[in-house]
Each structure stands twice: as C-alpha cells, then as structure tokens.
Amino acid sequence: MKVLKVPARTIAVFVLPCLLLYVCLVFAPILVSFYTGLLQWDGITTAKFAGFANFKDMFLHDPVFWPSVKRTLLYAVASMVEIPFCLLMAILLNRYVRKGNTLVSIYFTPVILSVVIIGQLWKTIYDPVSMGGMLNGVLIFLGLDSWTHNWITEPKIAMFALYAVSLWQYFGYHLLIQYTGVQNIPDELYEAAKIDGADGFKADRYITFPLIIPIFKISIVLAFIGSLQAFDLVMVMTAGGPAHATDVISTHMYNSSFLSFKYGYGSAIASFLVILCLVFTAGINTIFNKLEKKFS
Amino acid sequence: MRNVKHKRPKRPYKDGKRLSEKYKNNVFRETYTFLYFKKGFVYLLFAIPVVTQLYPLLWLMLYSLKTNEEILGGSFFSFPKVFQWHNYSEAYKSGSYLKYLSNSVMVTGITMVFVILLSSMVAYAISRFRWRYGNLVMTIFLMGMMIPMQATLLPLMIIFKNMHILNTHMSLILPYVAFSTPIAVFILSGFMKSIPHEIEESAFIDGASVYRIFRAIILPVSVPPVMTVCILTFINIWNEYILAATFISSEKLKTLPFGVYTFVSQYSVNYGNIGAFLVMGALPVILIYFFLSNQITKGMVAGAVKG
Amino acid sequence: MVSKKMKATSTIALSAALVLSMAACGNSNNESKGATESKGNTATNAPDAGTPKTENGKKVTITFQNIYPDPATPAYKMLHELVDQYEKENPNIHIELDTLNTDQQKVKLKTQAASKEVPDITIVNPAAQMKPFVDAKLFAPLNDMLDQNGLKDTYQSGLLDYYSFDGNVYALPDGNNIEVVYYNKELFEQAGIKDTPKTFDELLQDVKTLKAKGITPIAIGEKDSWTGSFLFMNILLRTNGGPGFLQDVLDGKKTFEDPAFVEAVDRFQDLVQAGAFPDGATSIDANAGGNIFKSGKAAMWVIGSWETGAIDASSVAGKTGAFQFPSVNGKGDPNEFMLAPGSAFAISANSEHLQETKDFLNFFTLNYPKKQFELKNAVGIGQKVDGDLKAAGYSDLAINVSGLFNQVKGGDLAFDNTMNPATAQVHLSSIQNLFVQKVDSAQVAKEHQTAFEANK
C-alpha cells in the first residue's frame, strides 16, 4: 500500500542518484554490448559492422555454444533442485531446534569464502588418488575402486562435479532464506490450525507452503540467475576445459572476448545471456503468480 | 509402530524438554522410542551439514600450518606434525598484507555506506510513494541482477578512462556500488512494504517532512534488512578481483582479493604460505560474518511473508 | 616574472644539452647521472619548450606492467634490483610496478588496449600474438632507442625479427629459449633406464617402464593448454621432417589434413595412451604441473629452457639433465628445436612520458643480461653476455642446456605465435581434448582446418 503522495522533486531526490549511477555503469554497458555484438571486432583494431553475422555464427556454426547453453541450463536446474530440500530442512530446523540461527550461520560459511579457496579445496577433494584426492581415497577405502574417477577432467562427469560444488556452497544460502521465511510465519497461525486439528506436515500443507511461496520464489530466482552467471568457480577449477567440456555461457563469452580476440562475438554471447535471464525470470514470475493464486 | 502416527504429540515444536517430560509416564513406550528415533534422525540431518560446511575452514587452517611435504603427501585428515606458524609470518612479509588490507577496508567501507544510503532511498521511494513509474524503476533494477559483470569490463574501462578515474579507488567503488544496488533495492523494498503505514501517516500529519520520516522512522526500523544487505554486499566486494586487477595498476592501491589471487597463482616455494595468506585474506570476512550473523537471519526476507 | 621564466628556460636548455652530449658518449650510466644532476638545478615550473619533460624536475611516474610476481624467482629479483637502481640514480623518476600473473596480464592488457590505455611499459608475446596491438598502432617503434648505447648489438642476430613489423622493432624480448626435455637422473636410474631416448619409440618405451615403476613419466600442467600444444608442436616439427609446417599452411601450400599433421596427432595420442602424463592433467595449472617435476615426482618435463634457473633452485637441483626431443618415426633432426623467443617489453605509443620511458627501458634492457647472469638465470636470455658459465658457478644442468643451444640448427615457433588468436584457441582446446579421450586423428585435423579457414 503506497501512502505518500510526494512532489516529483522529492521522488527525484530519492531515486535519481542511485538510478543514474546504476544506469550508467550497469545498464549502459550492457546496451553497448548489444551493439558491439553486431560488430566484427577484435576489441583492439577498427571494428567492422557485420549485422547479425555473430548471432548467425553463434546459433548455427559454433560447436561450443549450444552445449554450453545446455550445461548452463542444467546448472540452473541443478541449483533449483536443492531448494525444496532446503525448505524441508528449514521447517525441521524451526521445529526441533530452539536456536536455529547458530546452525544456519554455520551452514552459511561456504558462501562467505572466496571462490579461490573453494576451488583449491574441491580440487584437492577431486584429485586423482595418486595426488591424494580425498573422494577417490574414500571410495577405495570403502572397496569401491571401480567408482573412482578423475572427477574434474573426465569430460562426461566434470560438469557434474562442478554442479556438486555449487550445490554444496549455496546450500546454506538457500537454507537461510527459507529458514527466515519459515520463522517469520506467526505462531498464532499454527495455534489456530492446531485447534482445527491440523498439525505437523498437515499444517505445513495449509500454512507454511502457501505463505512461503514468495520466499521460495526469491530463492529460485537467485539460484537461477546465480547459476546462469556461474563463472568464477568454473574459471578457477577447470577454466572451461578439458576441451570445452565444462564451458558455460559466461566462460565461453569470456574466452571468446579475451583469448580468441573476438570481442564482437563475445558481446553477442553476452547479449544472449542477458536475454535468456530475462525470459526465464519472467517465466518464473508467471508460474509463481499462478501458484500463489492457487494456494490462497 | 503403525498406530503411532495419530498418537504423535500435537506439536513437538521447538521445545524438546517439554516433550520428553510429557511422555515420561506415557504407557506407549513404542511412541517414546519412535520419537527418539525420529529425533535422532533429524539431529543427524542437522549434524551432517555442520561437518561438511565447516570442513573447508578447518582444512584451510591445517593446510596453512603444514610443510610442503605434508601437503603434497596428500593425506587428507592429518594434523601437521609441527605447526608451521612461520608460514604466517612469511606470508605476511612477502604479501604486502597490511597495505592490501587497508585498501580493501577502505573500498569496501565506502561502497557499503553508499549502497545502503542510495538503495534504501530508492527502496523507500518504490515501496511507499505513490507515483507512476515505481514499478518500472523496480523492474529496471531487477534486470540489473541478470547482467554478468565480466561483460561490462571493457565498456567500464572506456567510461572510466573518460572520467579520468582509472587507477583510483573510485574506479572500484563506483561499479561495486552500481552492481550491489539491485539486490539491495530488492531486499529493502520488500521489507519497507511491510512497515505499517500508520506510523508514517501520523508523523506526516504532525508535519514531519518526507526526509525526516525517512531518517527518523524508516531507517531505524529497517536495521535488520540493512544488516543483510551489508553482509551480502561485503561478501561480494571483499572477494572481487577481476575489476580490481583490471582497473588498478598502482601497487599502493591494490586490494586484498587481488593480492590473494596473485599470491595463490604463484604456486612456487611454499604451499603453506599460500594457505596462510588465504586464511589472512578470509579472516576479516569471517569475523564480520560471525559478528553480524544473527542479524542476517532476521533481515534476509523480513517483510516478504505477510502473516 | 619574465626574467625568472627566462632563467629557468635557459637552465633547462643547458641541462638538456648536457644530457644529449652525455648520451652521445654512449654510456648509459653517465646519461642517467646527467639527468639526475640537472634535476637539482632546474626550477619547478618549466614551460614546454620542446625540451624533454625529465628536465622540469617534476616527478615522472612510469607504469611498468610485468609478469614476475614470484619473489622466489630470479626474474623477480632482477626486476626489483634494476628498478631500485634506476630510481636511485634518477630520483625524479618513479617506476610503478603493476605486477600480475600471466593470465591476468593478458586480459588486462586486452581491456586496456580497447580503450587505448596501454601502460607505459607492458609485456607482449612475439609475432602473431602481438600483431593486433601493432596493427592498432598502440606500441611505439623502438628503433631510435635501440641505437642508443649500442643496445641493438646486444641482441642475438635475427631475434628482433620476431618483434618487428614493417621494419620497425616494437618490443624487446626477455629471452630466447628452446624447448628441451628435462629429466630426473635418479628416477631414470630407479627405473633402470640407461640412456636418454633417441627415438620416439624409445621414449614411449621409457614412458611405459617408468609408469610400471609407479613414477609419473612426464610432468605437465594442461589446465593452461599451451603446455600440451608446445609438446605436440615438437612432434609435428619431427613428422614434418623439419620446420615450417604452419607457415606452409598460412601460405596455402599445405592444409592441416596433411599426413604430417595427422601422424603427429597419432603419435601424441600414443604418448597419452601409454600413460605418459599425470592423472587429471587438464585440471593442473602450468606452475603446479612444473612442480610435479621440481618436487621429484615426475621423471621428465618437456618445457622451455627458461625453467633451467628455477629447476636449479628446486629440490631436484643437481639430479637433472636435459636432452633434445627425439626423432619421430625416423623423421626430423633432433637439432631442430621448438623456438621460444621470449615475452617482450613494449612501450605504449600514447605514453605521456615517452622519452623517459624509452630511457628507462634502454637502461633496463642493457643491464638485464648482466643481472640475469649474476642471478644464475642467464640460460636462454636473448642477449649476448660476457662470462663463462662454469667459472661463474653455474650448475651442470645449465651448462648442459647451453650446450644444446649451441646445437640449434633451426626450428619452429609455437602455434599461438604463428596463427591468429581465434585459430590458436581452437587448436589449444583440440589438443587438450587428446588428454582426456581418444579421438580420430583425421577429425582433429579437420577441426583445425575448419577453424583456420573460418578465422582467416
């Protein structure tokens, strides 16, 4: 409910400083990228206007592009899959632990560490056994020798190994969001439901789930956008290799722009990424609006 | 066991003690064991992530105190035979730690002040003012979350060159603020929507200006989500190195994540030194996080649930 | 006021003349001293009367982007000692070191180049890799500066050609290396290998023997994909029967589907299949890959001779030797090497202090060989240096490697120094792929040819 009717000047004072800064430094550069995406340009010498040639190459001829899109979308799906589990954990936490905050804070720690540390750690976990990799060591200890792999260098599994790291790192993040959401639901609602005979998971069905939907949406959107942009982790752990087996859209963009000296082409990929984000976020919004209506 | 389900206590929520007292004299001992079994299972569910999520910190600490041979030897759970504290003094000496640290503190500090001030103003305008373009502005900000920072590297370079602020801390603070505002506006406006508007109305009737209401009423009650914004912004900026490496050239202006990244990628003499530098680099963020962590849970989605 | 200004101008003119005459003497040290002295005499507010800016007594800052971040290496010490010395002799000059690691520097320079903000001194790779920058006129020609103090004659003949375009030299190399095979004598002995391999089949046999003993045969860090390419190109140099394959492709005389290329891919795959490389090689960075050898865990390391100093400073010092890459299927001359003209120092064409920067780089490159020699890092430097390695206390390895230098009959440049960046990237990831799966070699060849034609 918006209450205040204020003069335009006041609105300007409140909004413009931030909006201008943001538009100039975030919005304008990406618009520039939409334009440079139309150029044949190495980023250094004079550019040549090429129309949609970059986009045509990207969609039709680039053997790396579509696989990287597929991996990116899988990344997004993988990160969203853990959110229901986080919600379940949040509900249990709220129910069984009096001071859940401390636990949630602990779960959150991987989020605050820099990717450099996370990358180092997981590389030593995934290392082949000859280099002391923990995961393979444990598998051999359990007698599962045939399960051992070079986790981040075998093209077929490398990407999944990276998904796993992200799931692990952001587990605490989503749990935190869900947990605070669950905590914010007033106790009276449950008391009332108890009188009506609804309780435990039945109460969750009628109280927790409908009320948590907006929070759930936040989590989904953040997970989605985060994974579409997944960059640092891939760069630190595999740099997109071996042979593009772990390239995602953002690393492919970066490598094209800065290593292959195809800046125009890299910009075209960036434009595609932004549009992809927009489309999917809009999609998620619509789905959730319907859900909210259905539940309430 | 089958008949247990409907005999379950009505609401075993939160209060474990009450629960067990209540059932001490219960004749259905099966219910009792089942409950314990279930509770045990749930606690195990809570305990596993504690191990897995805290492990990296422990690993890093041990790593930083080992010798090269112990690290390369690769046994994963081992403690160092002798704690190599000198790794820390060496990393400290060779890594310009204090200089990088103070630069990082300054850049991050200024950025956070601006992020909080600017984004709470926008959030206030979006959530409380009656004006036509509120939703549009919100959408524009939300779109910003989707823009990958790496794609803006080159355009930003050109902008900053023309502003003549390359190789100054401004060239980091400005983009950091700009890239942090979308999520900040998102969280803050969600909260501000939920503030009961009676408070505001009465102040308005008493003749307080919008600015005064914002400063004296809105900001003080928004402390929890502001804390959340603080931590999220802090984590992102504290660990950012691509812009830092690109826009800053002077050794005396470089920031800690840049230092950490460079230090790590050298890989040369002593792995323990690298570990020590990583610990020192992560220390501020860990301290701040645990200092504020109770606040963050309060503010994360405050207001997004309407009870 | 007027007279004061006049006075200042004349002082400047005088000191400028002093500098010029000193420079004419051809002694760099004197020149810097001349500049130093003049600084004290001049007034602070000098007009720009065509005199070099050094003379106005203002503090001049020169940004020196470099890739020597590791305090443990001789290169780091060399850089800092020379810079300190120059700053001491020229108190008005401040050299700002922007020290980055290699991949950071590549991206940063690229970004800077797009906005024409290249630092006063930066680092580029030779030939094809620096061409886009030269085409965009970002670098200043260094011909005049090379003539000062006889700098030009210190470089090995022909070396500067890799950094020259249209008769102008645009960068000065920090070295001129060849690719050799370093090996750990102790580990060879342990595996019962008597002699270094002379043919590729012997090499394969040795790889298998080492592998059977549980020793990693060849160290590599293939996350940085140039390392694998560098080794592969050595095989190609042999199967092609001599240098010039890539040049022939560029000239349209051959294609990547040539039998020599396909054979090289096959033989490279033999090496991979024999288990020559460490497990998970594609996730190991170049430095970490080198450390496998330097910590005595791998028997061989196929890399540029620039690593000689670093190996001597590591735990395998004294246990190592080097040999040339063997012939492949009876083809190729072992005395033809992969040539690696070094990364090179270039000066920004838009530098605000062009003259001062040139003066500094002149000093730096003149004293570079001597300093490297002192720091026991003179193997593979691209400049002539007086002094006997043995007498100076260099290791057997260093003498071994410099012996190989004397046998060089010719060779090829690395792939990314010959082909344009877009083609090079396809090549690099194509070779990286060979590390993780068996691929039809004709397919690899085709992939190369397609990329080459698409990015011509």
CATH 1.10.3720.10 residue spans of chain A: 52-295
Q: How confident is the model at residue B251 (pLDDT cuts 50, 70, 90)?
A: confident
Q: How far apart are CA A219 and CA A84, in angstroms?
A: 10
The enclosing H or E element of B297 equals helix B271-299
CA-based nearest residue in chain A for residue C423: A260
CB C49 within 8 A of CB C9: yes
C429/A244 Cβ within 8 A = yes
| pLDDT value for C381 | 84
Alpha carbon of B90 to those of B101, C71, C73, C300: distances in Å? 16, 11, 16, 31
B297/A176 Cβ within 8 A = yes
CA-based nearest residue in chain B for residue C121: B249
| Any C CB within 8 A of A259 CB | yes
As a dihedral over the C-alpha atoms of residue B186, residue B187, residue B190, residue B195, rounded to 10 degrees, the angle is -140
Supply angle C-alpha C216, C222, C227, rounded to 5: 100
A259/C425 Cβ within 8 A = yes
Backbone angles phi, psi at C99, to 5 degrees: -95, 125
The class that CATH gives domain A52-295 is mainly alpha
| pLDDT value for A117 | 82
As a dihedral over the C-alpha atoms of residue B125, residue B126, residue B127, residue B132, rounded to 10 degrees, the angle is 100
| Any C CB within 8 A of A242 CB | yes
User: Which of A26, A106, A180 has the CB atom closest to B152's CB atom?
Assistant: A26
Q: Which two tokens stand for residue C294?
A: 């330097």
| Any B CB within 8 A of A1 CB | yes
The pairing of beta strand C121-124 with beta strand C164-165: unpaired
Angstroms from A109 CA to nearest CA on chain C: 26
**Residues of C numbered 50-89 whose beta carbons fall under 8 angstroms of chain B's beta carbons: which are they?**
63, 65, 69-73
Q: How far apart are CA C185 and CA C192, in angstroms?
A: 10
- Residue B149 makes CB contacts below 8 A (sequence gap 6+) with B175, B179, B242, B243
Which chain A residues contact residue C437 at CB under 8 A?
155
| Any A CB within 8 A of C420 CB | yes
**Residues of C numbered 102-141 whose beta carbons fall under 8 angstroms of chain B's beta carbons: which are they?**
103-104, 107-108, 111-112, 114-117, 119
**Residues of C numbered 374-403 whose beta carbons fall under 8 angstroms of chain A's beta carbons: which are they?**
none
CA proximity to C22, closest of C177, C128, C148: C148
Decide if pLDDT at B23 tops 80: no
- Residue C380 makes CB contacts below 8 A (sequence gap 6+) with C175, C176, C177, C178, C304, C305, C306, C308, C342, C401, C405
A260/C425 Cβ within 8 A = yes
Q: Which two tokens stand for residue A69?
A: 């899109």
Q: How far apart are CA B128 and CA C269, in angstroms?
A: 67
Q: Which two tokens stand for residue B65?
A: 């105190």
Angstroms from B27 CA to nearest CA on chain A: 22
CA-based nearest residue in chain C for residue A122: C283
B249/C119 Cβ within 8 A = yes
Q: How far apart are CA B285 and CA C335, in angstroms?
A: 56
Cβ atoms within 10 Å, residue B223? 14
Encode B109-126: b = buried (16+ Cβ within 10 Å), e = exposed.
ebbbebbbebbbbbbbbb
Which chain A residues contact residue B75 at CB under 8 A?
132
| pLDDT value for B299 | 63
The 3-class secondary structure across A122-165, one letter per residue, is HHHHHCCHHHCCHHHHHHHHCCCHHHCCCCCCCHHHHHHHHHHH
Q: Using omega within 30 degrees of 0 as the cis cutoff, is the peptide bond preceding A242 cis?
A: yes
CA proximity to A153, closest of A237, A69, A233, A251: A237
CB C382 within 8 A of CB C175: yes
DSSP state, C196? -
Higher pLDDT, residue C432 or B222: C432
- Residue A273 makes CB contacts below 8 A (sequence gap 6+) with A228, A229, A249, A250, A253, B148, B151
Which chain B residues contact residue A103 at CB under 8 A?
46, 50
Q: How far apart are CA A12 and CA A23, in angstroms?
A: 15
* pTM of full prediction above 0.90: no
Alpha helix ranges (H) inside A8-141: 8-22, 28-36, 53-56, 65-96, 100-112, 115-126, 134-141
| pLDDT value for B9 | 44
Q: Which of C107, C118, C436, C437 to mutate against chain A (most A CBs within 10 Å)?
A: C436
Neighbours of chain C (3+ CB pairs under 8 A): A, B
For A114, the 3-state DSSP assignment is coil
The enclosing H or E element of A49 equals strand A48-49
**Residues of A numbered 166-225 whose beta carbons fall under 8 angstroms of chain B's beta carbons: which are they?**
168, 171-172, 176-177, 179-181, 183-186, 189-190, 194, 199-200, 211-212, 214-215, 218, 225
Angstroms from A247 CA to nearest CA on chain C: 11
The enclosing H or E element of B152 equals none
Supply angle C-alpha C53, C55, C56, rounded to 5: 75
Q: How far apart are CA A255 and CA A261, in angstroms?
A: 8
**Residues of C numbered 84-123 whose beta carbons fall under 8 angstroms of chain A's beta carbons: which are they?**
106-107, 110-111, 113-114
CB B156 within 8 A of CB B194: no
**Stretch among A246-255, B73-82, B132-141, C184-193 having the lowest mean pLDDT:** B73-82
Q: Mean pLDDT over residues B249-265, rounded?
A: 80
DSSP state, C393? T
Q: How far apart are CA A119 and CA A233, in angstroms?
A: 6
Q: Which of C59, C63, C70, C120 to mutate against chain B (most B CBs within 10 Å)?
A: C70
Q: How far apart are CA B139 and CA B158, in angstroms?
A: 27
Q: How far apart are CA B39 and CA B30, in angstroms?
A: 14
Angstroms from B269 CA to nearest CA on chain C: 7
The pairing of beta strand C93-99 with beta strand C60-66: parallel
Supply angle C-alpha B274, B275, B281, rounded to 5: 90
List, in sequence order, every residue forming a beta bridge with C180; answer none if it has no partner: C303
C98/B166 Cβ within 8 A = no
Q: What is the CA radius of gyration of chain C?
A: 24
| pLDDT value for C53 | 43
Per-residue pLDDT of chain C (456 residues; tens, 9 = 90+): 344 443 333 333 333 333 333 333 333 333 333 333 333 333 333 333 333 444 456 789 999 999 888 777 788 889 999 999 999 999 999 999 998 888 788 888 988 988 888 999 999 999 888 998 999 999 999 999 999 888 888 888 888 999 999 999 999 998 899 999 999 999 999 999 989 999 999 999 999 999 999 899 999 999 888 999 999 999 999 999 989 999 999 999 999 999 999 999 999 999 999 999 998 888 888 888 888 898 888 999 999 998 888 888 888 988 999 999 999 998 989 999 999 998 999 999 999 999 999 999 999 999 998 888 888 888 888 888 777 787 888 888 998 998 888 888 889 999 989 998 899 999 999 999 999 989 999 999 999 999 999 888
Backbone angles phi, psi at C182, to 5 degrees: -85, 145
Question: What tens digit of pLDDT does each residue of A42-93 get?
Answer: 888 888 888 898 999 899 988 899 999 999 999 999 888 889 999 988 888 8
For C345, the 3-state DSSP assignment is strand
ipTM for the predicted complex comes to: 0.84
| Any B CB within 8 A of C291 CB | yes
| pLDDT value for C16 | 36
Give me the count of residues in chain A: 296
| pLDDT value for B302 | 56
A180/B300 Cβ within 8 A = yes
Alpha carbon of B283 to those of B57, B86, B278, B288: distances in Å? 10, 18, 8, 9
Tell the residue number behind the tokens 């849970």, with chain if given: B297
Q: Is residue C165 packed enough to be buried (19+ CB in 10 Å), middle (13-18) or exposed (0-12)?
A: middle
All domains of chain C, ordered by start, with CATH? 4-175+342-387 (3.40.190.10), 177-340+401-454 (3.40.190.10)
Angstroms from B200 CA to nearest CA on chain A: 9
Q: How far apart are CA B239 and CA B152, in angstroms?
A: 18
Q: Mean pLDDT over residues B229-239, rounded?
A: 84
